[in-house]
């Protein structure tokens, strides 16, 4: 039982640490990204990162809003995650 509690505690610690830190490395400009829902519900969730602030805390992304019009917004970089294009 002690091993199971230790495993659960380790899993919770890893989830907590990844939630606070966001991405470990910032994607480069022009990268296809997913934007976390915590930035708002104005977007589709999929976008392109266009710029990173000098202090690397804010990322400028371009994503389609709910009316399918492309908008650019500054969001915290910890909510921006690189996505891998689908291959057929």
Name the DSSP class of 25.
Answer: S
pTM as predicted: 0.59
CATH number at residue 36: 2.30.30.140
Expressed as residue numbers, the domain containing 84 is 24-88
Within-domain flag for 43 = yes
Within-domain flag for 6 = no
Within-domain flag for 71 = yes
How confident is the prediction for the chain on average, in pLDDT? 75
Within-domain flag for 10 = no
Burial class of 80 by CB neighbour count within 10 A (0 to 12, 13 to 18, 19+): buried
**Nearest-angstrom CA–CA distance, 88 and 77:** 30
Task: Give the residue from 33, 74, 73 showing the smallest Cα distance to 53.
Answer: 74
Query: How many folded domains does the chain comprise?
Result: 1
10-37: average pLDDT: 61
Query: If you average pLDDT over each of 25-29, 64-68, 75-79, which comes out highest?
Result: 75-79
Q: What angle do CA 71, 24, 11 make, to 5 degrees?
A: 115
């Amino acid at each position: 039982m002690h091993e199971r509690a230790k495993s659960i505690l380790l899993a919770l610690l890893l989830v907590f640490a990844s939630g606070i830190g966001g991405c470990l490395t910032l994607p480069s400009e022009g990268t296809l990204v997913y934007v976390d829902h915590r930035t708002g519900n104005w977007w589709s969730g999929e976008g392109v990162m266009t710029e990173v602030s000098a202090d690397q805390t804010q990322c400028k992304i371009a994503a389609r809003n709910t009316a399918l019009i492309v908008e650019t917004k500054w969001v915290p970089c910890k909510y921006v995650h690189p996505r891998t294009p689908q291959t057929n």
